[in-house]
Structure 1
């Protein structure tokens, strides 16, 4: 990219994380394109300081960056590229979960998932289906057709692994799972909501006019 005169190109990041009481600089929330000397100066400009009144989400608007650059550097042509806001997430120190609490939650999730699967199979009469299939294949009646039930149970577990595309923390391949896609779409909708409702610069109340 070729720069003409004193120009700076600003591209806001989508989401960044900071610690409580930390100073937020231009370089934290935006990608800066300009000459090397001016880039270092611009990136070091402080535009916000996280205080105790802030919650876990702060919206930094590009106008805040433009004002900071204009105050410090005269005759600078500023060009904004891409999104106009950055979501700043304040990450507070989290307490480590105790082992008994982890075990209790794990047991509740395990039992709940097992009951959900069993109730689904009962609703669709899976046992009767297996018995019928076993009779069609072998010509014999069997109340517990393990020849079908065991491979089906193994296949059910493997199918869930393939569906979620994870074995514990290890990803099977680079393709996102349907759950990850839904979580991504939910996060995008949540980010848009936060940008609209939490950005003070984009909201004007009638009593403020």
Structure 2
């Protein structure tokens, strides 16, 4: 039994596990305490992964603290971070096959066509072709139906602008995330919060019925 010792614990946001796996404190959280205690606490079992492949399981910070206190009742636990950890129930990773490559190519093609149509519809709505003709006439003094130099420069500028916006040309690309990466992180954070809140609401309803 450990006496008068403190343990600082930060719950991970999300981990992946297979059905039937036994989850320990060390898998669920990052812990910091005396070295002789840390290894023992990290091996404490918390629960077993349940549910079918593709499902999500939530283990609250309180459940982890209870598991630690069962074997170390005198250990003072100071939790930080999320209120719960989300376990993604996954199976063994499958190797890429021809169908996966075809599926990826199909999705990429659909996104490419959709993005191209969105750009073309936008340019048609704002009359971009007429704008190019007007600018070309003001610069050269000639009126043409297809100002190819202007259109080529505009197309290259759009591509370069997108590359700069998504931080693809900057030397600091590896150090700073792109706007798209920031939006994805915010989306995943909101998804995790929603999953935890939904699990807490379901737990409250079940507790009220009991």
Query: Structure 2 length as normaliser, TM-score?
Result: 0.84
Query: Structure 1 length as normaliser, TM-score?
Result: 0.84
Is the partner of 1:142 in helix, strand or coil?
Answer: coil
Distance 1:206 1:90 in 2: 25
Assess, with a 3 A threshold, how the Cα gap between structure 1 residues 208 and 182 changes in structure 2: closer, same or farther: same
Which structure 2 residues correspond to residues 182-193 of structure 1 after superposition, within 5 A? 182-193=183-194
Distance 1:81 1:101 in 2: 41
Distance 1:75 1:35 in 2: 14
Q: Which runs of 5+ in 1 are unaligned?
A: none
User: Which residue is equivalent to 1:117?
Assistant: 119
Distance 1:94 1:33 in 2: 32
1:88 aligns with 2:87: yes
Distance 2:52 2:207 in 1: 24
Distance 1:197 1:120 in 2: 40
Confirm or deny: 8 A CA contact 2:13 2:192 kept in the other structure: no
CA-to-partner distance for each residue in 1:6-32, whole Å, 9 max, x for gaps? 222222122222233221100111122
Confirm or deny: 8 A CA contact 1:61 1:201 kept in the other structure: no
User: Which residue is equivalent to 1:178?
Assistant: 179
Question: What is the aligned residue count?
Answer: 204
User: Which residue is equivalent to 2:69?
Assistant: 70
Is the partner of 1:21 in helix, strand or coil?
Answer: coil
User: Which residue is equivalent to 1:147?
Assistant: 149
